[in-house]
Structure 1
Amino acid sequence: MTSNYRQDSWEKGAQFENYVEHILFPSEYYELLYKTSDFKQNSERYVKASLKPDFQFKCLLTGFVFYVEAKYRTKPYLNEYELLSEQQFESFPSIQENESPVFVAFGYGGLASNPDYVSFFPLQKIINRKLSPELVVIYKIDKGLYPSKELQPFNKALNNERFNNNQEISKDKVEKEFVAPQKAKWKFHNIFYIIAAAVVFSLTVFLLTKPSISSQPIKDKLVKTLSTYYSSSDKSQIERLPNFLSKKNVNWYGQKDMTLGEIITAAKEYNKTYPYRISEVDWNSLIVVEDKKGYYASYTMLFKSKKTEEEQYTTYDLKLLTFWDSNLKLTSITESIQ
């Protein structure tokens, strides 16, 4: 009987894990970096990595890496829900400190494959491993795609995947490896290139309107437009800028409502200082998502610049998140160093 109960418990757990993986964090928006071993594997030979939370995801929009432990309960026992086992309650804080943030997706009621309710807890909010239904419901979320904007408060520099190496992170190390490169990138980054990548990135609208992956023809048009833009940018053909930008003011790098005149002035000044530039887009990384007002596009690229012909190029490995209006004109941008 104990064996059958354990098997049934694992099956329900697997069903809810499937719900978490494909409904809350689908592959269109979250990359699956790690998944724990299943019941069959662990019953034959236990995998030590199974001590980790069930999943590790990476948000495709922000690059934020995090763990998720999936738990399902049909109903409370003695007016309490068990969110974590004793072992998990002891070990997860260390995983969060040394690797990446940990969250608990908790389904309750209904079926494991389609629970009545789902709550989502940051590990630091779980003071006790067992909570009353009244406390569990406080963290209730909508049943569907989990908005990445809700993860932003936990997306700190120390959680950037560049630092997820189990090494001690000091203030000096953060300044040297994260803050300083960001400042250097801003100083040397091709403003002309920034404009070209320009895009309206409204994460809230993106998630609430439930966009869909765009058709291949639109993607092909964006590839052609971006290719032409970067070719013009690298050749300092500033007179071609109006062909790529929205007629409305452009938002980029947190600077709102930049006029075309302001952008052209900045581009001219930059090109005088850094006349040598090379833009290399990884077209295989391009993802295009359709929205009511246009198209979101994300891609990675190598950008190189230098002041004189004799110098060595400074190279930046970048990920861009962009938005194009319905006429395929650029309107705003966010980016991050990979």
Structure 2
Amino acid sequence: MKMQYSSFEKGELFEKFVEDKLFKVTDYDLIHRTNSISQNETRYAEDTLKPDFKFRCKTTQQEFYVEAKFRSGFNAKDMIEVISYNQIERFKIIQKEENTPVYIAIGYGGVPDNPNYVSLIPLDELSYLELYDSYLRRFHIDKALVNSSQLNFSITPQESEERLKESINEQKARVEEDSVSRFKNKKFIVGFAIGLLLLSFFIFNVFKTPTEDTLKQKTTEYYSTIQSGNIDELENYINPYVNKWYSKSNVTFSEIKKQTQAYIKNHPESRVEIQWDTFKVTPLNDDYAVTYNMIYKLLKEDYGKDKIFHLKINAVWSNDLKLKSLYEEKI
């Protein structure tokens, strides 16, 4: 007979699984763990709003957060609700302010202390609040100790700049220590200059955020803002003056804001599923032309049934990452 657990018990059992099986004390130091439900009932701790764990890898000394989520199975839409909008936004702020990667560990199927499958998803890869099995499988890991090589820690632009400065300073120091005779060798001077230029170019290009990834993130945030109803935040994503907005031309942001408010009032529940394999970016003078296909759903529209549209989106983003044009084609 299968044991029945409350939602709180499921959460605590899976958290123990994550701590004891995936990030064992042999390889990871535990820096932080949020309070349990019973502890918060006595006195609520503010850091409960952080992800469940903060670990430090003993091999790399990299610190990172892990939020543990267990789900018994898929919902009626064959999806798993992974995280709430408020949580994902809060975790993004924490990741940015603390410069510390956040991962979501999702166990699903089976029992919470031994799920059938486990996925470990970097927060930056979490584009939707609900995920299909096909997406979860991309991040499957073994139900065993996580190797630090599986944690693809990114290096921030600030860190890359610091590393570049360190490398340049090291090069300068070596030059100063060399004898004057070396500098009489023109080949050495030319070689040193070229090497330093290549080093700067390499570090800059390795660690900078690719334009396509930046625009994917910006696109995701744009749709999340609309679906959350945060209309005032749209000014972070839309130019004050837009060339084309769906069927209209030469539209101001204030007009777009009013239209969006009216649209959400008439269609309060919607869902966007972008097909990221169709996402294409083309440089356009100082702007970026972006196209992608997506499935757009108006939930419970006709007699309680969803209305589904297959669309191709054509957008132009400015170099300061604001929409200058947006329209759709049915496919």
TM-score band by shorter chain is: 0.3 to 0.5
TM, length-normalised to structure 1: 0.46
TM, length-normalised to structure 2: 0.47
Which has the bigger relative contact order, CA under 8 A and spacing at least 6?
1
